[in-house]
């Protein structure tokens, strides 16, 4: 173990430069965030991931955000265990009918101000599962959605771009409010 | 003892079911097959329904025979398999929910996938009932004894994981019973596949379980190709295996780190996470998608491997070979970690055999089965690899099986790159009208995945059933956790790493 730890002292970090925030995501964000109480967030963002029926692909890429390459916590973004600690619900999947209640209850347990980010193609409109007897459809069928990050699944860098856009939107609005 | 072949030959055979035979049996023959299962002579590969018919895929391990027996049940009833052979219980409950076919004498008739929210009952049966009756509250199995308490967990868990419900009954810190409640991610996959064209169904199959997207697409495509008699180009066959091994590598590396992380040993998690990410990036460079989704398609593969991709994979293998041994050594020499994994969550050899547990769950408990070797589908018949086997059945053994399989997969990837034949990567096939039936058994990272399908007169998928290895692993987790402390559940759970989405379908 000492050898591994020593190596990490002398090797450069694997962590990569932050991605440029995509303009489309900022635009979508600007529309979505209508300037309510963003000041309270400061420079941190706590995310509660909710799988509302995904195939688990989006979750795998969400996990990847925590690895040494993306190291999402350096942006002040972290995944939390309880909706009560969360600012953002990151929801995946074509919401299944069996998960709709649990998703709503998770949303209700999240304190205001809160945002919902729908992650992945299924979360937009059900994707290839749309029309099934067991599926509600996109996340917006169950909750008000503030931002959608497309992809099947979106690669970590795209998730990161979306989340940074969310943060930047929140912070710039807070700056405007302060000025 | 009669062989499975004898039973199938004696019964009324079905034409165009490939590569293994299917026969329509009488209820007496059905019951005979159930007895063979209960006595451990045969293994249950799958049990699924269709309006008015129930099917059972069987494996005779003595001679490696596989066959499907089907029982017509016009009155909606059939003799229960689960009554004598418990591994069939949840499959029967799923068939009852979807098709309204009732297993006679089944000891457990509670709903399984249907939680009463669909708005329809028996959605895949001939008599779909709208405005479903309100579901009675789910009754967990009773537990009796002094000072027992229950801990309900889920369906929303405290991490980035799939939804499911766990009901623990504990005496102090010790778990006396765990009961699982699944079905939360049921997306109606089989309903969506019925009537869809082959390419669309292949896309759906690749989204059954996100971490096994290659394995599922492969199982589905092999079943289609068996049904239609399609000869896949050699290069495509080898590229498919290359993708399957990359998928296995990524998942095993992720799991090894995640299991250690659940024992609060974050260093392993960080290093394994780096290696996993490297695999995903190499896969992206080689096949244009980190998880290689939609890359295995009916008739071959969707994308060819170029020199750049080959270089990416070669340098990936070199890096893992360089870095992984130090991690294995770290795992092996850290007493605080071993203290958590050794003798924890022990799965008995007899149970693994009875439930025919696949993958690392079975192989850590002495079950020597790997579809890549036992059925030797190409190109594995031309490759050298070992199937690791341990008897301990604890968390530690499941970690070690993964470690050995990482080493085997590294060697397999190298062999494939060395021997990769040239030529076309996909063959067009005629959309002939059916009925054609096909079946395939493919080794995913989690265990063997079964795909069975029928292509109808119109050339569309008429019925498709995909069986995840987790169907036979989830119940074993309930057994393995018994007598362990609640705090060890994450370790047990992660070392099984059963699929929710693949199971719920």
Q: Dig out the tokens for B268 from the structure.
A: 């392993």
Q: Could you please report the per-residue DSSP string of A130-152?
A: TT-TTEEESGGGTS--SEEE-SS
In a shared domain, residues B499 and B377: yes
Which chain A positions have a beta carbon within 8 Å of B499's beta carbon?
Answer: 56
Does residue A17 register a pLDDT over 80? no
Given the cut 0.95, state whether the ipTM is greater than it.
no
Question: According to the model, what pLDDT value does residue A163 have?
Answer: 82
Mean local confidence (pLDDT), A99-104: 96
Does residue B12 register a pLDDT over 80? yes
CA-CA distance, B148 to A96, in Å (whole number)? 34
Question: According to the model, what pLDDT value does residue B446 have?
Answer: 96
Which chain A positions have a beta carbon within 8 Å of B330's beta carbon?
Answer: 1, 4
Name the CATH code of domain A22-178 (choices 3.40.50.300, 3.40.50.12280, 3.40.190.290, 3.40.980.10): 3.40.50.12280
Nearest CA in chain A to B501: A55
Where is average pLDDT lowest: B11-15, B121-125, B213-217? B11-15
| pLDDT band per the 50, 70, 90 thresholds, residue A37 | very low
Nearest Cα to Cα of residue B381 among B438, B425, B419: B419
Q: Chain B interface, mutation test: which of A13, A51, A83, most B Cβ atoms within 10 Å?
A: A51
Does residue B64 register a pLDDT over 90? no
| pLDDT band per the 50, 70, 90 thresholds, residue A28 | very low
- Comparing CB atoms, the residue among A106, A153, A155 nearest residue B210 is A153
CA-CA distance, B161 to B139, in Å (whole number)? 25
Cβ of A64 within 8 Å of Cβ of B155? The answer is: no
In a shared domain, residues B368 and B472: yes
Where is average pLDDT lowest: A52-56, B122-126, B313-317? B122-126
Residues of chain B with pLDDT > 70: what percent?
Answer: 99
| pLDDT band per the 50, 70, 90 thresholds, residue A24 | low
In a shared domain, residues B480 and B366: yes
In a shared domain, residues B232 and B374: yes
Question: According to the model, what pLDDT value does residue A170 have?
Answer: 60
Helix (H) or strand (E) holding B249: helix B234-262
Mean local confidence (pLDDT), B78-87: 96
Does residue A117 register a pLDDT over 70? yes
CA-CA distance, B68 to B56, in Å (whole number)? 6
Residues of chain A with pLDDT > 90: what percent?
Answer: 55
Chain-centre distance for alpha carbon B45: 10
Q: Dig out the tokens for B152 from the structure.
A: 């309900």
CA-CA distance, B405 to B504, in Å (whole number)? 27
| Nearby residues of B457 by Cβ (< 8 Å), 6 or more positions away | B433, B434, B435
Interface list for B 186-205 with A (CB within 8 A) = 186-189, 191-192, 200, 203-204
Mean local confidence (pLDDT), B222-239: 96
In a shared domain, residues B15 and B102: yes
In a shared domain, residues B327 and B195: yes
Helix (H) or strand (E) holding A162: helix A156-178
Which chain B positions have a beta carbon within 8 Å of A130's beta carbon?
Answer: none
> pTM value?
0.93
Residue that is last in its domain, among B130, B151, B166: B130
Q: Dig out the tokens for B63 from the structure.
A: 């001679």
Residue that is last in its domain, among B107, B130, B153: B130
Looking up tokens 């771009």, which residue turns up? Answer: A161
Nearest CA in chain B to A131: B192
Question: According to the model, what pLDDT value does residue B358 have?
Answer: 92
Where is average pLDDT lowest: A61-65, A106-110, B72-76, B430-434? B430-434
Where is average pLDDT lowest: A18-27, B109-118, B151-160, B226-235? A18-27
Helix (H) or strand (E) holding B49: strand B43-50
Mean local confidence (pLDDT), A96-118: 95
Residue B145 placed within a domain: no
Chain-centre distance for alpha carbon B35: 25
- Rounded to whole angstroms, what are the CA distances from B58 to A17, B55, B348? 53, 10, 23
In a shared domain, residues B210 and B314: yes
Q: Could you please report the per-residue DSSP string of B115-178?
A: -S-SSEESTTSSS-EESPPPPPPP-PPP--STTEEEEEE-SS-SSS----EEEEEEETTEEEEE
In a shared domain, residues B250 and B107: no
Mean local confidence (pLDDT), B199-214: 96
Question: According to the model, what pLDDT value does residue B13 have?
Answer: 83
Does residue B444 register a pLDDT over 60? yes
Do B409 and B249 contact (CB within 8 A), yes or no?
A: yes
Question: According to the model, what pLDDT value does residue B362 have?
Answer: 97
Do A69 and A14 contact (CB within 8 A), yes or no?
A: yes
Q: Bridge-partner residues for A95, per DSSP? A: A137
Size of interface A-B (CB pairs under 8 A): 149
- Rounded to whole angstroms, what are the CA distances from B407 to B54, B246, B268, B324, B446? 41, 12, 17, 9, 16
B393: containing domain: 189-504
Chain-centre distance for alpha carbon B220: 13
Q: Dig out the tokens for B264 from the structure.
A: 């609060």
Residue B385 placed within a domain: yes
Does residue A13 register a pLDDT over 90? no
Helical ranges in B3-53 per DSSP H: 4-10, 27-38
Handedness of CA A128, B215, B22, B186 (dihedral sign): negative
B315: domain CATH number is 1.10.645.10
The count of domains in chain B is 2
What separation, in Å, do the N-terminal and C-terminal C-alpha atoms of chain A show? 51
- Helix then strand count (H, E) for chain B reads 17, 18
Q: Dig out the tokens for A127 from the structure.
A: 């994707």
In a shared domain, residues B347 and B466: yes
In a shared domain, residues B116 and B219: no
Does residue A27 register a pLDDT over 50? no
| Nearby residues of B284 by Cβ (< 8 Å), 6 or more positions away | A155, B290
* Residue B195 or residue B134, greater confidence: B195
Residue that is last in its domain, among B130, B163, B178: B130
Question: According to the model, what pLDDT value does residue A41 have?
Answer: 58
Which chain A positions have a beta carbon within 8 Å of B191's beta carbon?
Answer: 132-134
| pLDDT band per the 50, 70, 90 thresholds, residue A5 | confident
Q: Could you please report the per-residue DSSP string of B267-316?
A: HHHHHHHHHHHHHHHHHHHHHSSSS-TT-EETTEESS---HHHHHHHHHH
Does residue B492 register a pLDDT over 80? yes
Q: What is the DSSP letter of B426?
A: B
Residue B178 placed within a domain: no
Cβ of B185 within 8 Å of Cβ of A53? The answer is: yes
CA-CA distance, A49 to A116, in Å (whole number)? 10
Which chain B positions have a beta carbon within 8 Å of A109's beta carbon?
Answer: none
Which chain A positions have a beta carbon within 8 Å of B204's beta carbon?
Answer: 128
In a shared domain, residues B402 and B487: yes
Q: What mean pLDDT, rounded, does chain B reach? A: 94
| pLDDT band per the 50, 70, 90 thresholds, residue A172 | low
Does residue A35 register a pLDDT over 50? no
Q: Could you please report the per-residue DSSP string of B342-382?
A: TTSS---HHHHHHTT--HHHHHTTT----HHHHT--TTGGG
Q: Dig out the tokens for B318 from the structure.
A: 């070199």
Mean local confidence (pLDDT), A162-175: 66
CA-CA distance, B254 to B245, in Å (whole number)? 14
Q: What are phi and psi of B121, to 5 degrees?
A: -115, 150
Mean local confidence (pLDDT), A95-122: 95
Nearest Cα to Cα of residue B240 among B259, B217, B269, B207: B217
B10: domain CATH number is 3.30.460.80
Does residue B131 register a pLDDT over 50? yes
Q: Dig out the tokens for B411 from the structure.
A: 């060697």
B134, with CB counted inside 10 A (0-12, 13-18, 19+), is exposed
- Helix then strand count (H, E) for chain A reads 6, 7
């Amino acid at each position: 173990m000492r050898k591994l730890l020593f190596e990490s002292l002398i090797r450069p970090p694997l962590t990569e430069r932050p991605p440029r925030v995509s303009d489309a995501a900022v635009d979508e964000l600007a529309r979505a965030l209508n300037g309510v109480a963003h000041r309270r967030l400061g420079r941190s963002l706590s995310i509660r991931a909710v799988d509302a029926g995904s195939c688990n692909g989006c979750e795998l890429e969400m996990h990847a955000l925590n690895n040494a390459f993306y190291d999402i916590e350096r942006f002040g973004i972290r995944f939390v265990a309880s909706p009560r600690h969360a600012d953002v619900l990151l929801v995946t999947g074509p919401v299944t009918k069996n998960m709709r209640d649990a998703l709503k209850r998770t949303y209700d347990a999240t304190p205001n101000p809160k945002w919902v980010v729908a992650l992945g193609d299924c979360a937009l409109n059900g994707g290839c599962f749309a029309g099934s007897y067991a599926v509600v459809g996109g996340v917006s069928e169950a909750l008000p959605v503030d931002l959608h990050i497309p992809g099947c699944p979106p690669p970590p860098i795209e998730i990161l771009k979306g989340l940074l856009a969310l943060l930047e939107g929140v912070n710039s609005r807070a700056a405007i409010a302060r000025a | 003892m009669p062989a499975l072949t004898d039973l199938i030959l004696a019964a009324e055979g079905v034409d165009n079911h490939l590569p293994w035979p299917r026969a329509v049996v009488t209820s007496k023959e059905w019951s005979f097959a159930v007895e063979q299962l209960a006595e451990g002579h045969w293994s249950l590969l799958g049990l699924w329904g269709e309006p008015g018919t129930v099917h059972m895929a069987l494996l005779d391990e003595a001679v490696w025979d596989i066959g499907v027996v089907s029982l017509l049940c016009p009155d909606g009833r059939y003799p229960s398999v689960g009554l004598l052979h418990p591994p069939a219980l949840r499959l029967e409950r799923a068939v009852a929910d979807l098709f309204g076919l009732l297993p006679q004498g089944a000891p457990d008739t509670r709903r399984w996938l249907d939680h009463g929210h669909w708005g329809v009952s028996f959605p895949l049966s001939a008599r779909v009932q709208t405005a479903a009756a309100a579901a009675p509250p789910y009754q967990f199995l009773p537990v009796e004894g002094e000072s027992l308490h229950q801990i309900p967990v889920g369906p929303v868990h405290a991490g980035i994981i799939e939804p499911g419900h766990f009901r623990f009954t504990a005496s102090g810190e010790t778990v006396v019973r765990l009961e699982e409640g699944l079905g939360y991610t049921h997306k109606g996959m089989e309903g969506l596949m019925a009537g869809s064209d082959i390419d669309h169904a292949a896309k759906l199959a690749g989204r059954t379980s996100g971490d096994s997207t290659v394995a599922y697409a492969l199982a589905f495509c092999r079943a289609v190709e068996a049904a239609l008699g399609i000869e896949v180009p050699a290069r495509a066959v080898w590229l498919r295996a290359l993708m399957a091994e990359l998928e296995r590598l990524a998942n095993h590396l992720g799991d090894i780190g995640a299991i250690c992380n659940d024992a609060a040993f974050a260093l392993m998690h960080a290093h394994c996470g780096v290696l996993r990410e490297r695999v995903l990036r190499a896969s992206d460079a080689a096949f244009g998608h980190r998880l290689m989704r939609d890359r295995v398609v009916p008739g071959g593969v969707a994308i060819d491997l170029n020199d750049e991709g080959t270089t990416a994979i070669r340098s990936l293998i070199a890096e893992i070979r360089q870095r992984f041994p130090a991690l294995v050594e770290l795992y092996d020499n850290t007493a605080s970690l071993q203290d958590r994994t050794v003798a924890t969550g022990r799965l008995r050899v007899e149970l693994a055999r009875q439930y025919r547990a696949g993958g690392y769950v079975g192989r850590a408990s002495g079950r020597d089965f790997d579809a890549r070797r036992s059925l030797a589908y190409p190109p594995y018949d031309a490759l050298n690899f070992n199937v690791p086997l341990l008897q301990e059945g604890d968390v530690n053994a499941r970690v070690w099986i993964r470690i050995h399989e990482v080493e085997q997969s590294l060697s397999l990837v190298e062999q494939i790159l060395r021997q990769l034949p040239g030529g076309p990567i996909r063959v067009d096939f005629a959309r002939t009208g059916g009925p054609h039936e096909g079946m395939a058994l493919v080794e995913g990272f989690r265990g063997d995945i079964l795909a069975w399908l029928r292509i109808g007169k119109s050339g569309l998928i008429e019925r498709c059933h995909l069986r995840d290895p987790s169907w036979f692993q989830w119940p074993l987790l309930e057994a393995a956790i018994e007598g362990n402390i609640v705090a060890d559940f994450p370790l047990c759970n992660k070392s099984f790493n059963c699929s929710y989405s693949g199971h719920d379908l």
